[in-house]
């Protein structure tokens, strides 16, 4: 028996095409799937720090119960108040607090000066000192109106910052009592 001749007779063009096809198949077989992209959960940015100073001052906003009597101040105290206000506008809370400390040293029983300093201490996160000074201001102050609300708001915020929810709620109730009800007109 004779053996069949299995030689392939192919043209060079056909060999190149077949070779290219085989190369493409081999390359496709070697290719790997892209690595899965890890899914990163989008983490929200942390909340901005509380502006405690703005919160206290908002509590003193005009509630229709304002009758302010501004005491006559010593010239040195007026200068220190202006220094404190300028420093605060520049964002230098520490310098503003130092100026108010000097003013309180000159007039230790002035509830407004004590409260202003308490607010700046609160902004610096000196919570215990801020709360104590606000309480002293309340004791020496009118116990009604905007100054009273600022006193109790300072106390509330200091307690909130320390995590004392019950104490903060109590201070909030006290602040609500500071509102002067207008007289009933008939």
User: What residue spans define the domains of the chain?
Assistant: 52-62+72-176
Q: What is the CATH number of domain 52-62+72-176?
A: 1.25.40.10
Among candidate residues 159, 184, 186, 183, the one with its CA nearest the CA of residue 171: 159
Q: Tell whether the model's pLDDT for residue 131 goes beyond 70.
A: yes
Q: How far apart are CA 144 and CA 155, in angstroms?
A: 15
Vertex 120, ends 59 and 99: CA angle to 5°? 130
What pLDDT score was predicted for residue 10? 56
Give the pLDDT mean for 39-51.
78
Q: Are the CB atoms for 52 and 161 separated by under 8 Å?
A: yes
What pLDDT score was predicted for residue 139? 97
Q: Are the CB atoms for 151 and 141 separated by under 8 Å?
A: yes
What 3-state DSSP class applies to 69?
coil
Percent of all residues in the chain with a pLDDT value above 70, rounded to a whole number: 77
First to last CA, the chain: 134
More confident residue, 103 or 179: 103
Rg of the chain over Cα atoms, rounded to whole angstroms, equals 38
């Amino acid at each position: 028996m004779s053996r069949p001749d299995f030689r392939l007779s192919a043209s060079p063009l056909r060999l190149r095409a077949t070779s290219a096809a085989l190369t493409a198949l081999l390359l496709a077989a070697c290719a790997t799937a892209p690595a899965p992209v890890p899914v990163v959960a989008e983490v929200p940015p942390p909340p901005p720090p509380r502006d405690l100073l703005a919160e206290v001052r908002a509590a003193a906003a005009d509630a229709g119960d304002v009758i302010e009597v501004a005491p006559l101040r010593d010239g040195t105290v007026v200068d220190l108040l202006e220094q404190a206000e300028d420093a605060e506008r520049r964002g230098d809370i520490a310098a503003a607090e130092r100026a108010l400390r000097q003013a309180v040293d000159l007039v230790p029983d002035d509830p407004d000066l004590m409260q202003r300093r308490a607010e700046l201490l609160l902004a610096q996160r000196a919570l215990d000192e801020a709360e104590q000074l606000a309480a002293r201001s309340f004791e020496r102050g009118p116990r009604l109106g905007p100054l009273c609300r600022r006193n109790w708001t300072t106390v509330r915020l200091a307690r909130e910052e320390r995590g004392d929810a019950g104490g903060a709620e109590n201070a909030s109730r006290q602040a609500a009592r500071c509102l002067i009800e207008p007289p009933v007109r008939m």
